[in-house]
Amino acid sequence: MSKEVLAVVDIISNEKGVEKEIIFDAIEAALEMATRKSHGDELDARVVIDRHTGDYKTFRIWEVIEDDVEIEDNVEWYLRHMDAVDIDPNIEPGQFIEEPMESIDFGRIGAQTAKQVIIQKVREAERKRIVEDYSKRVGEILTGQVKRIDRGDVIIDLGDNVDAVIPRSELINRENFKIGDRVRACVQEVSFKTRGAQITMSRACKEMLMGIFKVEVPEIGDDLIDIMAAARDVGLRAKVAVRANDPRLDPIGACVGIRGSRVQAVTNELNGERIDIILWDPNDAQFVINAMAPAEVTSIMVDEDKHTMDIAVEDEQLSQAIGKNGQNIRLATELTGWVLNVMSETSMSEKYKDASHDFVEMFVKKLEVDEDLAEVLVAEGFETLEEVAYVPAGEMLEIDGFDEDIVATLKDRAKDALLTEAISAEEKIVMAEAADDLKALEGMTEDMAKLLAGSGIITQEDLAELATDELLEIVEMDEEAAGALILSARAPWFE
């Protein structure tokens, strides 16, 4: 029988491409199941196969339990401690004890039982192998053959009995495939499903675009050119930002190819999607200017705090800069990671003229300076009292006409103005009185209303917008009561 075991292992391992150890485990499980069934499931057993000779041994297994424990089911699977110590004096309750028993003949085990167990183990091993292999390939472009169409989803055969699915949502617009078509797609996700390994692929993700460029442009595959970012309006238009790692290379020219051959190959693969190749730049403003192509940017204002940029183009280029249905500005925003506001030169001039005027008026009033000095501050980029108060004095001394006395005076006045504003705001809060709708809430007391008003929570709506922990920082009460009070304040939201 030992040769028969080894023969079965060799045959199944070669046919299924599964490791021999997994087949040995499956046969052991089949023998264990057959052993239990031959004894009416009145015992538990363990089978060990020698991997070299094919010989196997069978052991009866008991779980050792306390002497006073009552067992209702599978009584023969357990052994009381008082009896177990006769076999092994060192055994403790909760441990397992084994004794050799007669092995069942390999040829006598139920063929159907053995087949089912082995098939199950082999399938589990295949699923695990597929998941492990393809998890390493997420983001790669693979080619397969359309096997069938299921409710719009395309099932493709990747070879070696491995199937993948391209959901309808991950196909390119107006794209149709027939059974037998060759198709390229990007591996997006690999997971276990009830019926086996699930490989999900996409033709609509930006990784698909980047992967096809890597295939069509050897310099990208050789890491001479990097794709830094990509953005897609699937099936219509895309932008790709590239940079060269070799200063002698023209990254845009390399990606476009002779007479546009390379970029056209990518466009053809993506069902006619038009592609703009953009030169990446480490300077964010310059990168945005490049990304706005084909529109030409005439001026740009950057707000680092809000991570936004206002972009001006010539009045007659505004529609081109925005693009059809906002396509160009949307792709540029996605590509650069900045929130971009595009406007005409005229609108930009009016916007910043109005803003500058407001800043000048504020400095004249708060710093008690003349309009000329206020305009100098605004021209140098100062927009808040905090900036005047806390920007290093050395930076302000670089402004033409500013000396140490002027800088010191401006800083002192800015700090005084900020202090005055803070005191005024505090007084308003102290003097604030809770609104009637806040006082009328169920569970609200007069003292609680005063505390809330003193913290700027004046109305029922103000309270409704608080989180429980925020309310507990203002008023001492238990968490459950705080939650109930906030829910009461939010009641109008659900009417």
Q: Decide: 136 and 205 in contact? Cβ < 8 Å.
A: no
Is 281-359 the same fold as 209-273? yes
How far is residue 322's CA from residue 315's CA, in Å, rounded to a whole number? 12
- Please identify, in words, the CATH class of the domain defined by 137-204: mainly beta
| Domain covering 432-494 in this structure, CATH number | 1.10.150.20
Exposure letters 93-130 (e unless 16+ CB within 10 A, then b): eeeebeeebebbebeebeeeebeebbeebbeebbbebb
Token pair, residue 313, equals: 């183009």
Closest to 219 in 3D by CA, of 262, 259, 186, 185: 262
Q: Which one-letter amino acid corresponds to residue 431?
A: M
Report domain extents, the chain. 2-122, 137-204, 209-273, 281-359, 432-494
| Domain covering 209-273 in this structure, CATH number | 3.30.300.20
Q: Decide: 241 and 291 in contact? Cβ < 8 Å.
A: yes
pTM of the predicted protein model: 0.58
Residue corresponding to tokens 């299921």? 150
Token pair, residue 83, equals: 């009896």
CATH number (3.40.109.40, 3.40.50.300, 3.40.190.10, 3.30.300.20) of 281-359 reads 3.30.300.20
3: left (phi over 0), alpha (psi -120 to 50) or beta: alpha
How far is residue 45's CA from residue 142's CA, in Å, rounded to a whole number? 46
CATH superfamily for domain 2-122: NusA, N-terminal domain (3.30.1480.10)
How far is residue 158's CA from residue 174's CA, in Å, rounded to a whole number? 24
Per-residue pLDDT of the chain (495 residues; tens, 9 = 90+): 567 778 878 877 777 667 788 888 888 888 888 888 877 777 888 899 988 888 889 998 888 888 888 777 777 788 888 888 888 888 888 888 888 888 887 765 544 565 666 677 777 777 888 888 888 889 889 999 999 998 889 999 988 778 899 999 999 988 889 999 999 999 998 887 766 678 999 999 999 999 999 999 999 989 999 999 999 999 999 999 999 998 899 999 999 999 999 999 999 999 999 999 999 999 999 999 999 988 889 888 888 888 889 888 888 888 888 988 889 999 999 999 999 988 888 787 777 666 677 788 888 888 888 888 888 888 787 888 888 889 898 888 888 888 888 889 898 998 988 888 777 766 655 556 778 888 888 888 888 888 888 787 888 888 888 888 888 888 888 888 888 888 888 888 776
Token pair, residue 435, equals: 């609104």
